Amino acid sequence: MKKLILSLFIMCLALAASAEDGHQLWLRYQPNPEPAKVQLSLWYDGCGTVAPSPTIELAMKELQQYWHGAPITMEADCGPMHWKKGDDGFTIERKADGGLLLKAHGRDIGLLYGAYYLLRLQQSGQPVNPCEERPAFSLRLLNHWDNPNGTVERGFAGRSIFWNEKGEMRNEKWDAAHEELIRTYARANASIGINGTVLNNVNAKPAALSTESLQKTKEIADLLRPYGIRVYLSINFASPIKIGGLTTADPLNADVVRWWKDKVNEIYKMIPDFGGFLVKANSEGEPGPQDFGRTHADGANMLGKVLKPHKGIVMWRAFVYNPQSSDRANQAYEEFMPLDGQFADNVIIQIKNGPIDFQPREPYSPLFTAMQKTPMMVEFQITQEYLGAANHLVYLAPMWKEFFSFVKPASLKAMAGVANIGDDTNWCGHHFAQSNWYAFGRLAWNPSLTSEAIADEWLRQTFSLTPDPSPKGEGSIYSQLLSVMLDSREACVNYMMPLGIHHIFAGGHHYGPEPWYAPQGVRADWTPPYYHKADGIGLGFDRTLNGSANVKQYPEALCREYNDINTCPENLLAWFHHVPWDHKMKSGRTFWDELCHKYDEGVREARHFLTVWDAMQPYVDGQRFDEVQRKLRIQARDAEWWRDACLLYFQTFSHRPIPQDMEHPVHNLDEMMKFNIPIGMYENPTRGYTQ
């Protein structure tokens, strides 16, 4: 045992010395000198053996190369009768001779998932026990907001791994290095159970459906298939006009329906297991059925019907709002509730977790508990559009778990996450942002896993941290790092928008604070004052029954709780109430003083993250240590910037002093108000406020 610890420790020192660029993600299995003993037992309805599928071959190869434990027998009934029936799960049993039996529940992918399951346990130092694993959701999808020109909307990790400037694959030729990149992407996804990917931005260009572009989609689909990943495309609802030469895209028009039918047939000829369409319609300027006097249901059902014979699905987004309405938070519900029960059975309504837009904290979108007769799925945002982009360490599992504490996973059909992946060497821009890709997949498989368990297994695999001489004891460096991950989301809420404030981000790129942003001509619901409503009385959006009545969209008990300023959870206070500056908080402080303290607490937490990381130096390779340290420094400075900008700006309304017992702002409001970062929505800022 001592010898093992010593050799692990030496391995750790060696790791610390060698350069590490993070490209390997959490997949750092040590190869075997000789292939491990892995046997296959596949049969066909009891009448003979069959050849392994490419997926099973992959499972076999992974285990032979990297498994160091007991011999494994992989078993599956590959008969067509059986094959279609089972889920994606697997069972692991211990045989009398000490070997392991890995059985697919039905589909061959179960064996690959089982292989990664075993390798994960091995890599994170956990014991292998008999188990039965099956995913909670049958669809576990990434949504890439990648444009044909290679930019990624809200992408902070470089350019698209799929598309280049010409709308073709990134490389001129479909060359080996690029194929390898796509395979590595697929392998990472399969290792956490992701089984579908939408290859292009929901703000979709009609050309995504051109024959030339579909050819590229097919090439990607062929590479992803062995890993159990299907491809899907976002479509532009006006495609029949834009690329089909028709004069209308009215979903009830026979020519339009025929156009979609032909297009869908063309797709399935090329990609027989194509997953289906994701649609952003009548939202933020995208075309949709309402342009032709039709409803979301008319549009979605028409597409559902043409996809149905191929077993394809439609994911129709509920992210809709218009500039006239008095409360953006009400709108998805107002548009979709009247349509509940009218959608075809292969249409799923894809709803963002919160009613507005991926804020660091939102209540859940009330549609989830209101719609009873419509298949629904949740859309999370893995990319950190409103969470410090690829500069801030914010581990998102706690946010997603918070959502699941209100919305039962069983009420959903599927889980989608807007990817944070680009062509940066480390895939996600920030080494710790990889943990969000990882956590998304793990929760899509099993939403009852704890944030801590996921962070723990990710840290162990990604940084090979088991050799830490004081591995997990209370107060050890390792457990402090784990706490950094677990506390990071709340810290971010504290330094950006505590107590229910929301959408006070810089215009356009959304990086950094700009609660004052309200240029003439910009629609009100794209400006922070629409949301914070600061005035001499207080701060926050009145969504009570006396205000926009948003609370009414929630089940009765929650409605009552949220409606009363004295029972509303304080972390959502300014979401549901216009809170008077002197409102008494549970701490005994006034709302203003509490706000000041929350911002300051956020700053102190961000600084603490850096202190903990600095202590990790002996245990982490040099390159990743440096890169994370640089980012944590930006985060600590940004936290200060957020606190100073928000408190000094809100103080112009509250006219109350910043409490004595906290650090006071060190930047000047007039200077911060002049500062802006000259970037669009496709890049990661190299730094925040620098005065």
The catalytic residues are 284, 357, 385
Q: DSSP assignment, residue 94?
A: E
The window from 8-16, 201-209, 301-309, 655-663 that contacts ligand GCW (CB under 6 A) reads: 201-209
Tokens of 458: 């990710």
For the four alpha carbons of 443, 449, 450 and 452, in that order, the dihedral sign comes to negative
Considering beta carbons, is residue 380 or 650 the nearer one to ligand GCW?
A: 380
Assess 203 for contact with ligand GCW (CB under 6 A): yes
What single DSSP character describes residue 290?
A: G
Q: How far is the CB of 181 from ligand GCW (least distance, A)?
A: 24
Give the residue with the Cβ less far from ligand GCW, 62 or 357.
Answer: 357
For the record, the structure tokens of 328 come out as 């953006």
φ, ψ dihedrals at 290, nearest 5°: -65, -25
Please report whether residue 591 would count as binding ligand GCW according to CB under 6 A.
Answer: no
Does 198 help bind ligand GCW (rule: CB under 6 A)?
no
Give the nearer residue to ligand GCW in terms of CB position, either 151 or 301. 151
Which residue's Cβ has the minimum distance to ligand GCW? 357
Three-state DSSP state, 400: helix
By CB under 6 A, what part of segment 319-348 binds ligand GCW? 319
Task: Name the pairing type of β-strands 90-94 and 131-133.
Answer: antiparallel
Q: Which residues contact 179 (CB under 8 A, 6 or more apart)?
A: 223
| 154-193 residues near ligand GCW, rule: CB under 6 A | 154
CA distances from 123 to 27, 433, 459, 467 (A): 9, 20, 11, 12
* Distance in Å, CB of 688 to ligand GCW, minimum: 19
**Per-residue string for binding with ligand GCW, 58-97, x by CB under 6 A?**
----------------------------------------
Q: Which stretch binds ligand GCW (CB under 6 A): 27-35, 199-207, 215-223, 490-498?
A: 199-207
Residue 284 or 334: which CB sits closer to ligand GCW? 284
* Beta bridge pairs of residue 143: 198, 418
DSSP string, 172-205: SS--HHHHHHHHHHHHHHHHTT--EEE-S-SS--
Does position 149 bind ligand GCW by CB under 6 A?
no
Helices (H), 423-476: 434-445, 451-463
Q: Please state the closest distance from residue 657 (CB atom) to ligand GCW, in A.
A: 36
For 239, how many CA atoms within 13 A lie in the half-sphere containing its CB? 28
- Secondary element (H or E) of residue 258: helix 254-270
> Is 280 one of the binding residues for ligand GCW (CB under 6 A)?
yes
DSSP string, 483-528: HHHHHHHHHHHHHHSGGG----BPTTT--SB-TT---TTS-GGGSH
- Contacting ligand GCW (CB under 6 A), which of 104, 202, 209, 497? 202
Measure the CA–CA gap between 38 and 36, rounded to whole angstroms.
6
Stretch that binds ligand GCW, among 196-204, 397-405, 525-533, 665-673 (CB under 6 A): 196-204
Q: Give the residue, chosen from 292, 316, 358, 478, that forms a contact with ligand GCW under the rule CB under 6 A.
A: 358
The nearer residue to ligand GCW, 10 or 524, going by C-beta atoms, is 524
Site string for ligand GCW, 377-396 (x = CB under 6 A): --------x-----------
Instruction: State in angstroms the smallest separation of the CB of 362 from ligand GCW.
Output: 12
Site residues, ligand GCW (CB under 6 A): 145, 153-154, 201-203, 280, 284, 319, 357-358, 385, 681
